[in-house]
Structure 1
Amino acid sequence: MAEPQRPRPFTPELPLGKEPAAIRQRVEAMEAILERSFIIPGINRPVGLDALAGLIPVVGDVVTAAMGAYIVWEARNLGLPKWKIARMAGNVLFDSAVGAVPVAGDLFDFLFRSNSRNLKIIRKHLDKHHPADRVIEG
């Protein structure tokens, strides 16, 4: 008798490579994890790993800062100008510095979304310089 098949766990497959469309998908996935992973019941506000991990002193802030730095690194691979890279790095550093303050920093992480800001900078660059890779959201 055949053994019943177990359901496969959900594993999103992200494209590899340096093509702008592949980088865009990876950055959008990282931003969603960091800023919009869960919805808080009652207020219907999306919150992500950035705000939740910030509740863990030091380690949480270091981990989410590294994940935010990955988005900046991908932007560098896209060839964004240095001033945009500096602005994005500033967003991550500001979020990390203020987020490290106990209690007030946790509230700040809930409100200030540096990774969403950085994604907006990347999308604007891609839409201008790589219009063929634009994703139509519907």
Structure 2
Amino acid sequence: MAADLARRLRRLERVAELMESRWTLPIVKKPVGLDGLIGLLPAGGDLVCALIALGVVIEGARMGASRGTVARGCLNIGIDFLIGILPIIGDYADVLYRVNTKNVAMIRRDLARSHPELGED
């Protein structure tokens, strides 16, 4: 059971990395991922990223994360989406506000309460 949860958590961490910190842009010296790039697409990029982030939270719920953790994860997604739709500011915020990383860390902490072998980080 714990081995399966650990495997699923690693998969969520890989999704978070791909979405938020896969590459480093030389100009800004900040790691970026698909979230920052897809978010540049007008009228739908931020929605696509929010749906991917929602998939991470749903998987956390399937793994046994508490309702509170799922609710906070959804709130994080809502904040990221609302900030992301702002022109220019939202594009920069997509690089700084790492919603998937935050949500995966919350899911890990929550699951570690009942499965200490998963660890806090």
Same fold (TM over 0.5): yes
**1:120 Cα deviation (Å)?**
1.2
Alignment identity in percent? 33
Match for residue 76 of structure 1 among 46, 61, 67 = 61
Q: Which residue of 2 aligns with 1:59?
A: 44
Match of 1:100 in 2: 85
Other structure's SS at 1:19 match: helix
Q: For residue 71 of structure 2, what is the aligned residue in structure 1?
A: 86
Q: Secondary structure of the equivalent of 1:52?
A: helix
- 1:29, CA displacement in angstroms? 1.0
Q: Which runs of 5+ in 2 are unaligned?
A: none
Structure number with the bigger relative contact order (C-alpha 8 A, sep ≥ 6) is 2
Work out the CA distance in 2 between the residues paired with 1:70 and 1:28: 13
- Where in structure 1 are there 5+ consecutive unaligned residues? 1-17
TM-score by length of 1: 0.78
Q: Find 1:29's aligned residue among 6, 14, 17.
A: 14
In proportion to residue count, which structure has more helix?
Answer: 2
Shift of 1:22: 2.2
- Note closer, same or farther for the CA distance 1:73–1:134 as it changes in structure 2 (3 Å cut): same
2:35 and 2:88 mapped to 1: Cα distance?
A: 14
Look up the SS of the partner of 1:91 in the other structure: helix
User: CA distance change for structure 1 residues 43 and 55 in 2, over 3 Å: closer, same or farther?
Assistant: closer
Task: Give the TM-score, by structure 2 length.
Answer: 0.87
Greater than 4 Å deviation, 4+ residue runs:
none
Q: Which amino acid in the other structure matches residue 45 of structure 2?
A: G
